[in-house]
Amino acid sequence: MTIQDLENQFTSGLYTKRPIAIVRGSGAHLWDSDENEYIDCVGGQGAGNLGHANPAVAVAIAAQAQTLISCPEMFYNDKRAMLIQKLISIAPPSIRRVYLCNSGTEAVEAAIKFARVATGRKEIVAAMRGFHGRTLGALSATWEKKYREPFEPLVPGFKHVAYNDLSALREAVTDQTAGVILEVVQGEGGVRPGTPEFLLGAQTVCRERGAMLIVDEVQTGFGRTGKMFACEHHGLEPDLVALAKSIAGGLPMGATLIGERIGQLPPQVHGSTFGGNPLVSAASLAAIEFLESNDLPERAKVIGDWFIGELRKIESPLIREVRGLGLMVGIELKQKVTPYLQALMSKGVLALPAGLTVMRFLPPLVIEKEDLERVVEVVKEVLADEIKVAAMPGE
Ligand SMILES: Cc1ncc(COP(=O)(O)O)c(C=O)c1O
């Protein structure tokens, strides 16, 4: 029986899977069970910024696994203590404290709860095309109908305004608003960078009306956009920041950074069994040290600018726009993207969609320029071919 058959027997059925079984990785390369090699621009959907089988992360995990894995926050722990100090040292200057959890949606969920408890208000303003996760609170902030509708009614009190429309945001935020939640670059929504006027304006509106600014850096964090956090591009000083994906070199972990305006949280109102366990804390420390010592945010900027520039040179009537920041890059097509993603895969390049028409690239930040040169070539070839392949269902 193949790996695919075995997995298909009992998998939830929630995911539309590509037909290959990935069994091994190194840096920005992946191999399938037939030993086919791929250049990875899926990058674990953003969890793979440090590259596959990163030796610094692997060594830290192995050492910590032999020392201590479980240690709930009812006890102190050496690795957790070092990690939260590290996170504060790289966080925006408004940040004072850290809550550790296990995923992006949990980090957002906590941020929503903290904004509510700190303000005593209930309402949250989010953006159209925003994606913040799939647990009920985070899902209420997420825009896309297909994720929301099967699970309604969601949490009441959520409003969505057009992204980059400051006057709409100004109108939506009232004295009942607990928080405004925004991505600095919308990821799932199509790789759409926020304008400085909108993001800084949102911060001002929040300050004026007593609401909390929640920045979702789950996808943009840890060097992806050319800075450690995308907030730094605009000098944003959020009250809450949601982190996950590449925070622990690919291990499941999330964090909510808590700013000065949140103040003291009431004890025991929130928590997590696995949050801040020593294994992921050690992995995260190693991951952040690797990002810093290899200057990966700067590398993402330099190589990302070059990559975006090369993609913009491609002349194809299929391209509507190439956009991005650092190594978070999207090509918006004038038609559905799925057949083109499949064609890329058949030529050894893995990329992912962002909505129906955007081809998204989130390569590990360690990717070599030669690999990206190859990606540009393959994108050119694929957009020049007349695509006859069947679409991958649902992607
Ligand atoms: C901006 C953003 N927020 C939240 C999430 C949810 O993260 P997770 O899948 O770890 O729950 C994602 C996932 O893609 C994301 O891109």
Mean pLDDT by 10 residues, the chain (395 residues): 96 96 98 98 98 98 98 98 98 98 98 98 98 98 98 98 98 98 98 98 98 99 98 98 98 98 97 98 98 98 98 97 98 97 98 98 98 98 76 49
pLDDT of residue 386: 74
Dihedral angle computed from the Cα positions of residues 166, 168, 174 and 177, in that order, rounded to the nearest 10 degrees: -80
Buried b (16+ CB within 10 A) or exposed e, 241-263: bbbbbbbbbbbbbbbbbbbebbe
d(CA 339, CA 337): 6
Q: Give φ, ψ of 186 to 5 degrees.
A: -70, 125
254 Cα to the center of ligand 1, angstroms: 10
* Ligand 1 pocket member 218 (CB < 6 A): yes
Which residue CA neighbors atom 8 of ligand 1 most closely?
A: 104
Q: How far apart are CA 113 and CA 179, in angstroms?
A: 10
Determine if ligand 1 sits within 6 Å of the CB of residue 203: no
Scanning the structure block, which residue is given the tokens 């941020």?
111
Q: What is the pLDDT of residue 209?
A: 98
Q: Does residue 133 line the site of ligand 1, with CB under 6 A?
A: yes
pLDDT at 275: 98
pLDDT at 389: 46
Our answer on whether the CB atom of 143 is closer than 6 Å to any ligand 1 atom is no
Q: Is 109 in the pocket of ligand 1 (CB under 6 A)?
A: no
Sheet of 22-26, strand order:
22-26, 29-32, 37-40, 349-350
User: Residue 380: exposed, middle, or buried by beta-carbon count in 10 A (0-12, 13-18, 19+)?
Assistant: middle
Residue of the CA atom closest to atom 4 of ligand 1: 132
* pLDDT at position 385: 82
216 lines ligand 1 (CB under 6 A): yes
For the chain, the straight-line distance linking the first and the last C-alpha, in angstroms and rounded, comes to 26
Which 8-state DSSP code applies to residue 153?
S
pLDDT of the residue at 388: 54
Is the CB of 43 within 6 Å of ligand 1? Answer: no
Sheet containing 254-259: which strands, arranged edge to edge?
A: 95-101, 254-259, 240-243, 212-216, 177-183, 123-127, 158-161
